[in-house]
Structure 1
Amino acid sequence: MSDPGSGQPYRRPTAFRLDDSRLEIAEEPAYEEIEDLAPGIDDAKGAVEQIANPRRRGFRWGALVLSAAGALVSLAIGLGVDALIRDLFQRAPWLGWVGLVALSLFVLGLVVVIGRELAGIARLKRVARLRLACDEAAASNDRDLAIAATRSVMDLYSARPETAKARADVRNYLREIMDGRDLLVLAERDLVAPLDARARAMISGSARRVSVVTAVSPRAFLDIIYVLWESVRLIRRVSSLYGGRPGAIGMLRLLRAVLGHLAVTGTIAVGDTILQQVLGHGLAGRISSKLGEGVVNGLMTARIGLSAMDVCRPLPFLAAERPRLKDLAGNLVSRE
């Protein structure tokens, strides 16, 4: 006989004795220690490689089409501007000179914008290559490589007055006889650890803002827009903190690396399970669904921030404790 509702075989009620040796009682799966859902750092090297040494693709017909179209549009714009300047001079000489000044300012601004974009890409590559050099020096425990990497880290933050004492201390360490990894650990403690504290505050603040705004937002598309905006803003701030400071094009490359890192390490599952794992089964059952959505969005933002921290940091996590997602989760529901 089967249950018509479920299609499963029907079993009659049966009585069992508790001391029956054949009886097996399935235990309720207990919630053990909260699993850290933050992205791992083992795969951060691949994301950093994308920034330091982007893969060059071969010949592509799509790129040829876009390049040719861009050249034609540029020629059309150039001819149109030339005709405009000539017409202005024919109407009145002073109008022609005004047009020339406006064109000169436009060209100057364009050159400055292009220069800033190239400088932003160069800064990103510099930090990424420094990270790879520190990874190699720490893995091989090579003192010479560690000294060169440490000097590069000091040069990276040489323009920041707040790091003057830390740079002086690290400069003294270079004269000591120690292993390469130990030298990098000291550089991490004095130079990078204070930046880690500021990055953690940035991530926590962004996660809390996202949690609050999306919890009170009346529309889902507003939640998506705000989460995207805050995530991009957080990645830019974290990168600037560690010395990257990307431009628009560099930001696209950085976003690709961070999202690639998240894709490798796994994404957050949105739903009741994440709330139960991070906040606890009892608290997750008592909060409203809208507040739960806000907490989940905040956790997603925090996870993106931690991934950006892994990618933008000039040194790997050697002795410093890496921020954990479950530590940031408590701030999302605190009353402070």
Structure 2
Amino acid sequence: MSASDDRLDTESAAQPAPKPRRQTRIENLEVEEPAVHERASTRVESLAEEPGELPRSITTGESLPDKISFSELRLPFFRLRMWKPALLAGLALAFGAVFWELRQFFYWAADMHWSLGLLAGVVIGALVLTMASAVWEYFRAGKPLRKLQKTQQLAAEVRDSRATDAVAPLNQQLQELFAGKPQGALLARVQEETPDYYDNSELLRHLELNFFEALDQEALRRIVRHATTTGALVGLSPFTTLDVLVALRQSMRMIDDVAQIYGVRPSMVVRWRLFKKILALVAYSGASEYAVSELWPELVGDSMLSTVSARLGQGMGASLFMARIGLAAVHSCRPIPFSEKQRPRLGALTKRIASSLKERLLGREQNRWPDAGLSQSAAEKVSARRSDARGPNQDD
């Protein structure tokens, strides 16, 4: 019985397991099948091979396609195209009206009497000659500035040149610029001491060291003086309108002084043209903030800031504005432009302006303390002498 059971177990184990029965599902054909969502493909990148530079759109500041950036937004400037013809037409109409009135006046005087006609003709002729001479002087006054610009352009072109083609023209232009002026004697002596083998760059270096260095120091001294005066007047003045008038007047005087140092004769035309050119070079942005943050602790102590901060801030802002105008005037009037290393900076003048302004605005308060110190030391010396004089008498 056991043997038969073992045989049955062996046969059952040898037979394969029955396969599962397939299931059939009947679906309705009228019902739409649901959409099958496919899985998005995934790209695997190696982290070891990262690019050494950022994408160009990030490094150059360009906006990505789905971003909007207004950093480079610029709108076209609205230009008035007809204002110049309109201005010229208005001037022509005004001159025509004046000419017609003068003609009518002459004919009326001549009809009255021949002597009145002669007198009217003399008056009209004098008026016309005066206007013509004014126009001639206007164009003639700009001639020194044109010569100055020509010399500046030539010096800038041959600064790094090792040739000798510009030595003679440059010396000739400088002689014409300083002819008949106090600086001409020093220039002639410096040019006589110049060796014949100097090239263009060596000539410029020789002139800057022996001639223009003295002029630059005098120009900076005058700039500091005008800036300090303007700062003191603005700091002591309680009226804003008066501050503007004082700053404008001092700036015009400073421009004249700086222009005279470099051989430019002062005149209304030269002053106006230089003023327009200098204002184009002036960058006043940040001057007052720089004065407040950097110069106030150097000007006064922390204990005095609460009492003189407003007055000193206004004066220091005006002084820095005047210093910027003065430096721009130096750059505009100097026949040989500065090199990048020799260019005077505003920081070189701030300490001088600060000390001068401190003496003017706070001179009385600052002078009390040294007097008190001297009196105390003198009293100590007197007491020491008295003790020395009494010592031997007491010993006796």
TM-score, with structure 2 as normaliser: 0.62
What amino acid is the match of 2:295?
Answer: V
Q: Secondary structure at the match of 2:165?
A: helix
Distance 2:243 2:182 in 1: 39
Superposed CA RMSD in Å reads 2.8
Question: How far is 1:247 from its partner?
Answer: 4.7
The alpha-carbon distance between structure 1 residues 201 and 116, as it changes in their structure 2 partners (threshold 3 A), is farther
The match for 1:325 is 349
Question: How far is 1:280 from its partner?
Answer: 3.0
Whether contact under 8 Å (1:231, 1:301) holds in the other structure is yes
The alpha-carbon distance between structure 1 residues 241 and 85, as it changes in their structure 2 partners (threshold 3 A), is farther
Mean alpha-carbon deviation: is it higher for 282-291 or for 77-86? 282-291
The match for 1:269 is 287
Question: How far is 1:76 from its partner?
Answer: 0.4
Whether contact under 8 Å (1:217, 1:223) holds in the other structure is yes
Whether contact under 8 Å (2:190, 2:211) holds in the other structure is no
Distance 2:243 2:220 in 1: 23
The match for 2:125 is 104
Distance 1:274 1:128 in 2: 34
Question: How far is 1:206 from its partner?
Answer: 1.4
The match for 1:159 is 180
What amino acid is the match of 2:101?
Answer: G
Deviation by residue 1:150-188 (Cα, 9 ceiling, x = unmatched): 331122112114432431331341x42123222112222
Indicate the structure (1 or 2) with the bigger Cα radius of gyration.
2
Whether contact under 8 Å (1:117, 1:250) holds in the other structure is no
Instruction: Within 5 Å, give how 1:170-319 maps onto structure 2.
Output: 170-173=191-194, 175-245=195-265, 247-263=267-283, 267-271=285-289, 273-280=290-297, 283=300, 285=302, 286-287=304-305, 288=308, 289-318=310-339
Mean alpha-carbon deviation: is it higher for 179-188 or for 163-172? 163-172
**1:122 aligned to 2:143?**
yes
Distance 2:264 2:92 in 1: 32
**1:334 aligned to 2:359?**
yes
Q: Secondary structure at the match of 2:158?
A: helix
Distance 1:187 1:308 in 2: 20
The alpha-carbon distance between structure 1 residues 201 and 92, as it changes in their structure 2 partners (threshold 3 A), is farther
The match for 1:67 is 88
The alpha-carbon distance between structure 1 residues 253 and 62, as it changes in their structure 2 partners (threshold 3 A), is same
Instruction: Within 5 Å, give how 1:125-164 maps onto structure 2.
Output: 125-164=146-185
Distance 1:206 1:196 in 2: 15
Per chain length, whose mean CA-contact separation is higher, i.e. which structure has more relative contact order (CA < 8 Å, sep 6+)?
1
Question: How far is 1:282 from its partner?
Answer: 6.8
Question: How far is 1:72 from its partner?
Answer: 1.0
The alpha-carbon distance between structure 1 residues 195 and 165, as it changes in their structure 2 partners (threshold 3 A), is closer
Deviation by residue 1:114-143 (Cα, 9 ceiling, x = unmatched): 222112222112111211211111133433
Q: Secondary structure at the match of 2:288?
A: coil
Distance 2:120 2:217 in 1: 51
What runs of 5+ residues in structure 1 fail to find an aligned partner? Answer: 1-57
Distance 2:186 2:281 in 1: 34
Whether contact under 8 Å (1:89, 1:96) holds in the other structure is yes
The alpha-carbon distance between structure 1 residues 282 and 207, as it changes in their structure 2 partners (threshold 3 A), is closer
Whether contact under 8 Å (1:170, 1:186) holds in the other structure is no
What amino acid is the match of 1:185?
Answer: R
Mean alpha-carbon deviation: is it higher for 219-228 or for 89-98? 89-98
**1:90 aligned to 2:108?**
no
Distance 1:328 1:148 in 2: 38
Deviation by residue 1:180-206 (Cα, 9 ceiling, x = unmatched): 222112222333233223322321221
Distance 2:257 2:120 in 1: 39
Count of residue pairs brought into register by the alignment: 275
The alpha-carbon distance between structure 1 residues 96 and 282, as it changes in their structure 2 partners (threshold 3 A), is closer
Question: How far is 1:107 from its partner?
Answer: 2.2
Deviation by residue 1:186-227 (Cα, 9 ceiling, x = unmatched): 222333233223322321221122112112212111101221
The alpha-carbon distance between structure 1 residues 81 and 328, as it changes in their structure 2 partners (threshold 3 A), is farther
Whether contact under 8 Å (2:226, 2:250) holds in the other structure is yes
Whether contact under 8 Å (1:212, 1:294) holds in the other structure is yes
